[in-house]
Amino acid sequence: MDRITKAARLMIVSDLDHTMVDHHDPENLSLLRFNALWESNYRHDSLLVFSTGRSPTLYKQLRKEKPMLTPDITIMSVGTEITYGSSMLPDDGWVKILNQKWDRNIVIEETSKFPDLTLQAETEQRPHKVSFYVDKTKAQVVMKELSSRLEKRGLDVKLIYSGGMDLDVLPQGAGKGQALSYLLNKLKTEGTLPVNTLACGDSGNDAELFSIPDVYGVMVSNAQEELLQWHAENAKGNPNIIHAKERCAAGIIEAIGHFNLGSNTSPRDVADFVECKLDRVNPGYEVVKFYLFYERWRRGEAANCETYIASLKASCDPTATFVFPTGVEKTLHECIYAMKGCYGDQTGKQFRVWVDRVLSAPIGLNTWLVKFDKWELSGDERCCCVTTTKINAKGSGGASDGYTWVSVQQKWLEGYEKKDTSIWLF
Ligand code: GLC
Ligand code: MG
C-alpha cells in the first residue's frame, strides 16, 4: 500500500476461482493475457485486489498451482481477512469490527443440529467464518431455519450460498462487499480513493461486490446461476454491471474495454512488436514485451528471422551486462546470440514466461531502475528470478522512441531455483 501515494487510476477487485482463474483452461491463457495487460499498463499506477472465499492456506496453494500475479491487497475467507502487500500484513481494524455480535461457538452449536450441513475442511474454518456443504435442493430451507435459530441466540449473522454447494456463516458486517466498502472508505480517508473501481465475480459470495455504490461490475460469462438470479432480482437494468460474453479473466479484460477504464489490449494479443508502437510510454511495457518475445521464440511461435534478432539487439546497449543468478556475467548481446540457437527448443513443453510486480523508479532524466519477478514454467518445473534492470529511454524523443537495456541482474527466488542451470537465458 505504501507504493500508492496517489489515487489509483484503476482498482480491480476480483474473485479468484472461476473468475480470475479458469479451472477449465489448463493452459491458463486468459489469466496470462490478463497478467501481461496488468503488468504492462496498470501495475505502476493502479491497484490489484484479490477477493476470495479461500482461506490463507488454500489461497497460497492456488498461487503455487496457477500463474497468478501478486495483488496489492488480498481479501480472503469471504471478506473476513484483509491483508496488504506481498508480505500480507493483516488489517487489525477490520478484525475488531467483525467481532461485533459474533460468537463462533454458538454458530457451531446451532449448526450441529442440522443433518443436511457437512462441515468443510478444517483449513476453511476461520475466526469469522464457519463453512459447510449443503445440497442445492436443501439450501433455501436450511438457511431460513438456521437464520432464525441464530437470531434467537442473539447473533447477527450473514448466510451466503455459493457455487451451488458452499454455505458460509459470517458476522453480519463481513462479506466481500462490506470488506470492499471498508477498503474504499479507508482509501478515501487517506485521500487516495481510486478513480475507477471494477469488481469481478462469478458466484453467490460475489453478489455483494456488485451493490457497492460507484463501482463497476462484471459477472464473467460462466457466472453461476445463483449470481445471475441475484442480478435479475436486484440489479437488472444497472448499466454499471455487465454479464460478459467471455469467460473468466477474458471477461475482466472485456469489461475494462466496455467501461472505458483504460487499455484493454493485452500484449499477448499483439502478434508483432516490431510493427506495434502502442502503449510504449512506460518501462513496464518494455519488460513484458521482451519476455513475451522470449517465450514465443523458445516455443517456436515467433518467426525465426534476422529482423527480430536485429531489433532485439538494437534494444540493448552493446556493453550492457547480464549477471546470472549463478553469478556468471555476460553481455546481453552474448545472451541474445545464445537465444538464437534455442529457437523452438521448448515446443510442446507447456513453456510459459510471465512477469510479476513490475515496478520502475526513475533514477535520472531518461533512466529507470525496473524491478520485477521473472517466472518461467517448463513442463512441471517452475522457476523465478528476482530481476533488477536499468533501462534508458532511446533517442531524443524520450520514451516514445523506445528503450535501451543497460544492465540486468538476477537472483533466484527462494524455493524456485532452477535445477539444471545449463540453459538459463534471461
Ligand atoms: C471457497 C472457500 C470455502 C467457501 C467458498 C464459498 O471455496 O474455500 O470455504 O465456502 O469459497 O465462499
Ligand atoms: Mg468464484
Task: Note the pLDDT tens digit of each residue in 145-171.
Answer: 999 999 999 999 999 999 899 999 999
Which cell goes with 192?
487516495
Q: What is the pLDDT of residues 369-393, one digit of tens each?
A: 999 999 999 999 999 999 999 999 8
67 close to 35: Cβ distance less than 8 angstroms: yes
Output the CA 89–ligand 2 centroid distance in Å. Answer: 24
> Is 279 a residue whose pLDDT tops 70?
no
* pLDDT range class, residue 423, cuts 50, 70, 90: confident
The C-alpha atoms of residue 41 and residue 211 are separated, in whole angstroms, by: 28
> What residue's CA is closest to ligand 1, atom 12?
53
For 358, list phi and psi in degrees, rounded to 5. Answer: -75, 115
What's the average model confidence in pLDDT over 19-41?
97
**For 271-412, which CATH class?**
alpha beta
* pLDDT range class, residue 144, cuts 50, 70, 90: very high
301 close to 310: Cβ distance less than 8 angstroms: no
Residue 388: closest CA among 319, 333, 325, 297: 325
158 close to 89: Cβ distance less than 8 angstroms: no
> Is 175 a residue whose pLDDT tops 90?
yes
Which cell goes with 310?
536485429
Output the CA 51–ligand 1 centroid distance in Å. Answer: 11
For the Cβ of 205 lying below 6 angstroms from any atom of ligand 1, the answer is yes
For the Cβ of 208 lying below 6 angstroms from any atom of ligand 1, the answer is no
What's the average model confidence in pLDDT over 261-286?
81
For the Cβ of 175 lying below 6 angstroms from any atom of ligand 1, the answer is no
For the Cβ of 130 lying below 6 angstroms from any atom of ligand 1, the answer is no
Per-residue b or e along 305-322, where b marks 16 or more CB atoms closer than 10 Å to that residue's CB: eeebbeebeebbbeebbb
* pLDDT range class, residue 101, cuts 50, 70, 90: confident
In the DSSP assignment, the letter for residue 399 is: G
What's the average model confidence in pLDDT over 91-103?
92
Residue 161: closest CA among 99, 224, 114, 105: 224
- Please report, rounded to a whole number, the percentage of residues in the chain having pLDDT higher than 70: 96
The CATH homologous superfamily to which domain 10-90+174-267 belongs is HAD superfamily/HAD-like (3.40.50.1000)
In the DSSP assignment, the letter for residue 82 is: E
421 close to 326: Cβ distance less than 8 angstroms: yes
Which cell goes with 78?
469471504
For the Cβ of 124 lying below 6 angstroms from any atom of ligand 1, the answer is yes
Indicate the top mutation candidate among 168, 206, 208 to test ligand 1's pocket, ranked by most ligand atoms within 8 A of CB: 168
Would you state the pLDDT for residue 274? 67
Output the CA 15–ligand 2 centroid distance in Å. Answer: 6
Residue spans in the chain of domains classed CATH 3.90.1070.10: 101-171
Please give the mean pLDDT across all residues of the chain.
94
Would you state the pLDDT for residue 277? 58
> Is 226 a residue whose pLDDT tops 90?
yes
For the Cβ of 110 lying below 6 angstroms from any atom of ligand 1, the answer is no
Residue spans in the chain of domains classed CATH 3.10.450.50: 271-412
What's the average model confidence in pLDDT over 111-125?
97
Half-sphere exposure of 39 (CA within 13 A, CB side): 31
CATH number corresponding to 101-171: 3.90.1070.10
What single letter denotes the amino acid at residue 384? C
H-helix segments, 24-103: 29-37, 56-65, 92-98
For the Cβ of 166 lying below 6 angstroms from any atom of ligand 1, the answer is yes
Residue spans in the chain of domains classed CATH 3.40.50.1000: 10-90+174-267
Q: With residue 319 as reference, give the H or E element that holds it.
A: strand 316-323
The C-alpha atoms of residue 272 and residue 308 are separated, in whole angstroms, by: 9
Would you state the pLDDT for residue 398? 52
Indicate the top mutation candidate among 15, 16, 166 to test ligand 1's pocket, ranked by most ligand atoms within 8 A of CB: 166
For the Cβ of 81 lying below 6 angstroms from any atom of ligand 1, the answer is no
Per-residue b or e along 253-271, where b marks 16 or more CB atoms closer than 10 Å to that residue's CB: bbbbebbebbbbbbbbebe
With the CA atoms of 348, 267, 239 and 78 taken in that order, what torsion angle do they form, in degrees rounded to the nearest 10?
Answer: 60
Atom of ligand 1 lying closest to residue 121 CA: 9
> Which residue in this structure is represented by grid cell 540453459?
423
* pLDDT range class, residue 2, cuts 50, 70, 90: low
